[in-house]
């Protein structure tokens, strides 16, 4: 019976830990969205993202290049 009680206590601690983690992530996401909304209202832009989401840089400025290099045409010799 003592083993079952220890396992039950351990699982309860894990549930509390993960619920706290989820709550923290949810609050952080909400705060991030609120800050971005305030910045957009003030005319500031969002920082660039790696996934090409909102606020990402235009495609010609991502790597500093103006365009993709063109392949040379084959010559007939």
The count of residues in the chain is: 77
Provide the whole-model pTM.
Answer: 0.49
Hey, what are 45's tokens? 């832009």
How large is the greatest C-alpha to C-alpha distance in the chain, in angstroms?
A: 89
Hey, what are 65's tokens? 């290049």
> DSSP letter at 63?
S
52 φψ region: left (φ > 0), alpha (ψ -120 to 50), beta (else): left
Hey, what are 66's tokens? 């103006």
**Sequential pLDDT tens for the chain (77 residues):** 789 999 999 999 999 999 999 999 999 999 999 999 999 999 876 666 555 555 544 444 455 555 555 666 666 65
């Amino acid at each position: 019976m003592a083993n079952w009680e220890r396992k039950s206590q351990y699982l309860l601690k894990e549930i509390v830990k993960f619920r706290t983690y989820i709550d923290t992530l949810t609050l952080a996401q909400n705060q991030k969205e609120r800050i971005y909304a305030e910045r957009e209202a003030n005319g500031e832009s969002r920082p660039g993202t790696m996934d090409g989401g909102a606020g990402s840089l235009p495609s010609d400025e991502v790597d500093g290049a103006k365009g993709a290099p063109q392949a040379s045409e084959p010559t007939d010799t």
